[in-house]
Amino acid sequence: MRSLRLPSFALAIPAWAWLVTFFVVPVGAVLYFSFGYKPGIFGTHATDVLSFDRYAEALSPTFFEVFMNTLWVGIAGTLLCLAIGLPVAYWMAVKAPANRRGLLIALVMVPYWTNFLVRTIGWQIILAPEGWMSQLLQTVGITEGPLEILYTRTAVLIGVVYNYLPLMILPLYVAFDRVGPALREASKDLGANRVSTFLRVTFPLARPGIIVGLLLVYIPLMGDYITATVLGGAQGNMVGQLVASQFQAAQNWALGSAMAVLLILVIMVSAAAIGLQLWLVSLPFRARNRVVLEASA
C-alpha cells in the first residue's frame, strides 16, 4: 500500500499555525506600535505618524543600567540552577531506582502547583529576621544576629533559583535519561572510570538537553521582573519591569513596544554570546569517538 508522503515539516504545521495565529499576528501588531507614539494623556497608542523616536527614547542610560543588573541576575541565576539541578537530574536519571523515577519527576513539580505568590510568602516566613528559622540558626550558632537575607542580592538569587529550578531539572533529566545505561556500561567495559565516562560519554550526549535547560531558564528569566523583586526588593530590579511600566503605569504602548523589542534583541544577543563562550569551553569534552561507541551499543 502507498504511504502518504508528507513534507518534512508536516508534523510541525499544527504548532506553527497555532503560534502564528495567536502569537505572531497579535505581537506583530504590538511591535508595529513601537513605531508610533502616545496620543495625549488618555490614549495608549497611535500609528498614523511612524518613526524611530520611541527607540531613541528607549535607549536611555537607565535601560542600560538596569540591563546590566538583569544580566547579572540572569547569568548568576542560570548558573546556580545548573549547579544545583545537574546533580539532582543525574541522580534521578541514573542512580535512583527505576520504578521511582516517575514519582520523583512529579515530586519536582509538586511545589510549583502552589501559587507563585504563596510560595514567596512561604519564603518570607522562613527568612523572616524575627522568625523561627532565624532564631533557630542563632541558637545553634550558625549565624550571629538575626537573619538578614531578605532584600539582598542573596534573596534575589534564592527567589530566582527556587522558581526556575524545575525548568532546569526536567530537561536535564530527560537528557541524562536519553543517554541510557547501555552506553555508560560500554564505556566502563572499555576501561573508563566514572569521571571519564561522565565527561566523555554522558555529558556530551546529554548536551542538547543541557542546552535546553540553560535556555529555558536564562531566556524567560531575563524577561521576568517579578521573581527577582519579591524577596530581593530593589536589588532585584530587572529590565522587564521597565517594559511593564510603560504598558501599565504610563499607558504608553508605543514606548513599551520599543523597549520590548530592544529587550528581546539584547536577550538574544547575550544568549548567543554566552552560548558561544560555553561552546568554546566545552570543545574538549566533545564526544569524539561517537561512531565507535554507537556501533557497540
Partner 1 sequence: MTTTAPETTTDAASRAPEASAPRTTDAPLARRARRSPVDIGLTVWSVLVFLFLFAPIIVILVYSFNNGRLLIAWNEFGFEPYRALWEKPAVRDAVAVSLRTGAIAAVLATLLGTLAGIALARKPGKWALWFIGLLLLVSVTPEIVDAVALLPWLVFLGQDAGLSIFNDGTVRLVVGHSLFSTAVVTYIVRARLVGLDAQLEEASADLYARPLTTFRRVTLPLAMPAVLAGLLLSFTLSLDNTVVAAFVQVSGSTPWPVYVLSALRGGLRPEIAAVSTVMLLLTLAALALVAVVLKRAGDSATQIARTMSGG
Partner 2 sequence: MAEKSTPIRILASTEQVPILQRAIDRRRFLSFAAAMGGTAFLAACSSSGGSTSSAPVATGGALENSLSIYTWGDYDSPEVVESFTSDFGPKVTFDSYGSNEELISKLVAAKGTSGYDIIVPTGAFIPQMIENGIIQPLNKDLLPNLEHMDPAFLGRSWDPENEYSICKAWGTTGFVYDKTVITRELKDWNDFLDAAQNEASGRTSVLDDPAEVTGLYYWANGIDWNTTDEAEIAACEDFIVNTLAPHISAFDSYPGGQAIPQATQVLMQAWNGDARIGIMESPDPDRWQWVLGAPATELWMDNWAIPVGAPHPEAAHAFIDWTMVPENQLLQVDYIGYHTGAAGIEEAASEAGLEMLDLVFFTEEQIATMRDGEVNDAQQANVDIWNKAKAAAGA
Distance CA 36, CA 48 (A): 7
The dihedral built from the CA positions of residue 288, 289, 295 and 297, taken in this order, carries a sign that is: negative
Task: Verify binding: residue 150, partner 2, rule CB under 8 A.
Answer: yes
Backbone angles phi, psi at 37, to 5 degrees: -160, 175
Residues 58-117 that bind partner 2 (CB under 8 A): 62, 65-66, 69
Q: Least distance (Å) from partner 1 to the CB of residue 181?
A: 5
At CA 35, angle to CA 31 and CA 40, rounded to 5?
105
| Partner touching 136 among partner 1, partner 2, none, CB below 5 to 8 Å by kind | none
Residue of the chain from 58, 66, 92, 293 that contacts partner 1 (CB under 8 A): 92
Contact between 35 and 47 under an 8 Å Cβ cutoff? The reply is yes
Task: Verify binding: residue 196, partner 2, rule CB under 8 A.
Answer: no
Residue of the chain from 56, 122, 250, 277 that contacts partner 1 (CB under 8 A): 122
Contact between 227 and 158 under an 8 Å Cβ cutoff? The reply is no
Residue of the chain from 111, 122, 129, 208 that contacts partner 2 (CB under 8 A): 129
Contact between 212 and 246 under an 8 Å Cβ cutoff? The reply is no
Residues 220-259 that bind partner 1 (CB under 8 A): 220, 222-223, 240, 243-244, 247-248, 253, 256-257
Task: Verify binding: residue 229, partner 2, rule CB under 8 A.
Answer: yes
Question: Nearer to partner 2 by C-beta: 149 or 205?
Answer: 149
Task: Verify binding: residue 34, partner 2, rule CB under 8 A.
Answer: no
Q: Least distance (Å) from partner 2 to the CB of residue 40?
A: 6
Residues 151-190 that bind partner 1 (CB under 8 A): 162, 165-167, 170-171, 173-175, 177-178, 180-185, 188-189
Contact between 126 and 159 under an 8 Å Cβ cutoff? The reply is no
Q: Least distance (Å) from partner 2 to the CB of residue 249?
A: 5
Give the closest residue to 120 by CA, choosing from 181, 163, 169. 163
Distance CA 52, CA 117 (A): 38
Give, for 160, the enclosing helix (H) or strand (E). helix 153-189
Give the closest residue to 164 by CA, choosing from 37, 87, 248, 78. 78
Task: Verify binding: residue 129, partner 1, rule CB under 8 A.
Answer: no
Give the closest residue to 71 by CA, choosing from 295, 292, 270. 270
Distance CA 291, CA 127 (A): 52
Question: Nearer to partner 1 by C-beta: 58 or 222?
Answer: 222
Task: Verify binding: residue 130, partner 2, rule CB under 8 A.
Answer: yes
Task: Verify binding: residue 223, partner 2, rule CB under 8 A.
Answer: no
Q: Which of 49-57, 63-71, 142-150, 191-199 is the region at the interface with partner 1 (rule: CB under 8 A)?
A: 191-199
Task: Verify binding: residue 234, partner 2, rule CB under 8 A.
Answer: yes
Instruction: Classify residue 126 by burial, with Cβ atoms within 10 Å: 0-12, 13-18, 19+.
Output: middle
Interface residue list for partner 2 (CB under 8 A): 38-44, 62, 65-66, 69, 121, 124-125, 128-131, 150-151, 229, 233-237, 241-242, 245-252
